[in-house]
């Protein structure tokens, strides 16, 4: 079972950045703007073809990282994984903005052994032990994938939104829980903490089942990593971008790959 | 003596009409719904950039129920929550109060007292936003200049969650 889960996670991690159009991973919170004193939310986590319907596989919660407004980690409750989705509850005991993310980081290796392709996933320490020295046609890639969303109790805050410096991250210019139909929002994307220029972004609005087109919005980050989007309607939006090059920072990797997904909620005027 | 009394009565009778300030009348309409709850209502004065110049009144459920505290649904007053509510702690002294029944509700604000006494001259909007549990939401804006050069009776009419909203300006 453990191995199966590992391999499904690997398959997902491999597939996601390469062909984002095939499967979309997401975290979907029940609410993003809350006014109660110590409210609860519930979050669905899934990988699907369509935004936001449960029709493929659940998103595993093994790498869930929740950051409270004061920057400390928060713990999900009532976690469960079903056929099509995972779900968990979160008690918002602090006022401010929570960052809810699954973060998958590590190394991937491909090589050939006895004429057969071999695949491996791990980290820099396990690499030395598990990947044979002098493997034929060895290709090592460092990968960082982040799938996240934001939820605010009371006044929006920035404490949980400080970049970790790993992979692609969103730095708010417009706060991600202060989005309204017809208004422009500006965000900055960083890669390993530095402005990520030229990233192509795809934004898909909720409810694909009830229309004939994706109605995706495209954007590209500028030299400072920033981009703007004017929300055509209220609703939930899925935003995705990915990146790859041959400037790996974690030896022995030679390639690096990063992907980013965020679910945003836009409210009506 | 009687002439003096008459004069005094005349002054008393006309006093409310001449008190500088503004009156707001908000009509909560009768709605034919199988499950009716009194709406949450926020009434405020906004600046041209839509920031809040003054909160006049906010009505929400004061008691806790099995569904949670009354503040749980304040975010349904979406614009008000964004512009002011999320920056507040509840209750807000002199602003928040209980929800109100169907009918017309008049509020009077004296130009010599807070919050009008500190309102700089300029262009403003009176905003009334109503949100009803298992119902809808509606927002009405009435633009006005402060202080009013002359007596003005402005009004707007809602379509579903609000009836007639009147703004009477008394210089």
Q: What is the pLDDT of residues B44-73, one digit of tens each?
A: 999 999 999 999 999 999 988 777 689 999
The torsion angle over the Cα atoms of residues B65, B70, B72 and B78, rounded to 10 degrees, is: 150
Which of A34, A156, A178 lies at the smallest CB-CB distance from B75? Answer: A34
Q: Do B85 and A178 touch (CB under 8 A)?
A: no
Q: Which 3 state secondary structure label does DSSP give B73?
A: helix
Q: Is residue B132 part of a domain?
A: yes
Of A155, A177, A144, A171, which is closest to residue A263 (Cα–Cα)? A177
Task: Give kind and range of the element (H or E) at residue A80.
Answer: strand A77-81
Average pLDDT over residues A193-221: 96
Cβ proximity of B126 and B144 under 8 Å: yes
How many domains are contained in chain B? 1
A235: β partners: A266
Confidence of residue A10 (pLDDT cuts 50, 70, 90): very low
Average pLDDT over residues B131-142: 96
A2-106+140-266 CATH? 2.60.40.3880
Which of A35, A156, A268 lies at the smallest CB-CB distance from B75? Answer: A35
Q: Is the pLDDT of residue B10 over 60?
A: no
Q: What is the pLDDT of residues A91-107, one digit of tens each?
A: 999 999 999 999 999 99
Q: How far apart are CA B166 and CA B171, in angstroms?
A: 16
Q: Quote the minimal CA–CA distance from A34 to chain B in Å.
A: 6
Q: Is the pLDDT of residue B8 over 60?
A: no
Cβ proximity of A217 and A266 under 8 Å: no
Confidence of residue B18 (pLDDT cuts 50, 70, 90): low
**Candidates A29, A32, A35, partner chain B, best to mutate (most B CBs within 10 A):** A35
**Candidates B62, B67, B71, B75, partner chain A, best to mutate (most A CBs within 10 A):** B75
Of B169, B144, B143, B139, which is closest to residue B157 (Cα–Cα)? B139
Burial class (CB within 10 angstroms; exposed 0-12, middle 13-18, buried 19+) of A84:
middle
DSSP string, A205-252: ES-GGGSSS---EEEE--TTSEEEEE-SSSEEEEEEEEEEES--SSTT
Q: Do B81 and A155 touch (CB under 8 A)?
A: no
- A37 in contact with B, Cβ within 8 Å: yes
What pLDDT does B2 receive? Answer: 56
Q: Do A36 and B71 touch (CB under 8 A)?
A: yes
Q: How far apart are CA A140 and CA A107, in angstroms?
A: 7
Q: Do B73 and A35 touch (CB under 8 A)?
A: yes
Q: Which domain holds residue B89?
A: 19-170
- For residue A230, the tally of other CB atoms under 10 A from its CB is 10
Q: Is residue B10 part of a domain?
A: no
What pLDDT does A259 receive? Answer: 97
- B86 in contact with A, Cβ within 8 Å: yes
Cis peptide, bond prior to residue A87, ω within 30 of zero: no
- B71 in contact with A, Cβ within 8 Å: yes
Q: Do B86 and A156 touch (CB under 8 A)?
A: yes
Q: Is the pLDDT of residue A5 over 60?
A: no
Q: Which residues of A touch B79 (CB under 8 A)?
A: 269
Q: Which 3 state secondary structure label does DSSP give B81?
A: helix
Q: Is the pLDDT of residue B3 over 90?
A: no
- A182 in contact with B, Cβ within 8 Å: no
**What percentage of chain A reaches a pLDDT higher than 70?**
92
What pLDDT does A123 receive? Answer: 87
Q: Is the pLDDT of residue B11 over 50?
A: no
Q: Do A267 and B78 touch (CB under 8 A)?
A: yes
What the block records as the tokens of B3 is 């002439």
- A156 in contact with B, Cβ within 8 Å: yes
B28: β partners: B103
Q: Which residues of B touch A29 (CB under 8 A)?
A: none
Q: How far apart are CA B164 and CA B171, in angstroms?
A: 23
Cβ proximity of B140 and B127 under 8 Å: yes
Q: How far apart are CA B37 and CA B45, in angstroms?
A: 26
Q: Is residue B1 part of a domain?
A: no
- Record the pTM: 0.87
Q: Do A34 and B78 touch (CB under 8 A)?
A: no
Q: Which residues of B touch A156 (CB under 8 A)?
A: 86
Q: Is residue B33 part of a domain?
A: yes
What the block records as the tokens of A125 is 């320490």
Interface size, chain A vs chain B, as Cβ–Cβ contacts under 8 Å = 34
Q: Is residue B14 part of a domain?
A: no
Q: Is the pLDDT of residue A203 over 80?
A: yes
């Amino acid at each position: 079972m453990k191995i199966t889960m590992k391999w499904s996670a690997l398959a997902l991690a491999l597939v996601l950045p390469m062909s984002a159009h095939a499967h979309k991973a997401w975290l979907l919170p029940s609410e993003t703007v809350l006014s109660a004193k110590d409210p609860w939310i519930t979050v669905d986590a899934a990988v699907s073809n369509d935004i936001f319907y449960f029709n493929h596989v659940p998103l595993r919660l093994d790498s869930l990282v929740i950051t409270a407004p004061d920057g400390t980690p928060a713990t999900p409750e009532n976690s469960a994984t079903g056929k099509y989705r995972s779900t968990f509850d979160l008690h918002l005991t602090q006022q401010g903005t929570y960052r809810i993310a699954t973060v998958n980081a590590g190394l991937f290796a491909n090589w050939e052994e006895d004429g057969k392709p071999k695949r491996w996933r791990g980290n820099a320490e396990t690499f030395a032990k598990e990947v044979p020295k002098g493997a034929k046609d060895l290709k090592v890639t460092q990968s960082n994938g982040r799938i996240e969303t934001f939820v605010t109790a009371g006044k929006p805050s920035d404490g949980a939104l400080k970049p970790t410096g790993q992979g692609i991250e969103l730095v708010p210019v417009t706060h991600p829980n202060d989005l309204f139909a017809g208004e422009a929002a500006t965000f900055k994307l960083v890669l390993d903490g530095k402005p990520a220029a030229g990233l192509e972004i795809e934004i898909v609005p909720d409810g694909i089942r009830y229309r004939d087109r994706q109605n995706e919005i495209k954007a590209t980050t500028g030299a400072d990593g920033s981009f703007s989007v004017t929300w055509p309607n209220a609703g939930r939006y899925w935003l995705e971008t990915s990146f790859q090059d041959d400037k790996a920072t974690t030896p022995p990797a030679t390639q690096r790959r990063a992907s980013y997904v965020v679910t945003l909620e836009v409210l009506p005027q | 003596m009687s002439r003096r009394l008459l004069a005094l009565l005349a002054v008393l009778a006309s006093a409310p009409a001449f008190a500088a300030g503004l009156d707001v009348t908000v009509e909560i309409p009768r709605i034919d719904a199988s499950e009716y709850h009194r709406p949450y209502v926020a009434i405020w004065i906004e600046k041209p950039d839509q920031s809040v110049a003054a909160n006049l009144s906010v009505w929400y459920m004061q008691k806790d129920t099995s569904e949670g505290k009354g503040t749980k649904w304040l975010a349904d007053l979406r614009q008000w929550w964004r512009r002011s509510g999320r920056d507040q702690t509840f209750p807000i002294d002199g602003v928040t109060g209980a929800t109100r029944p169907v009918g017309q509700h008049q509020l009077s604000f004296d130009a010599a007292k807070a919050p009008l006494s500190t309102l700089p001259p300029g262009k403003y909007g009176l905003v009334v936003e109503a949100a009803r549990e298992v119902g809808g939401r509606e927002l009405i804006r009435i633009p006005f200049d402060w202080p009013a050069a002359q007596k003005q009776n402005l009004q707007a009419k809602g379509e579903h969650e609000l009836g007639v909203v009147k703004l009477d300006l008394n210089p």
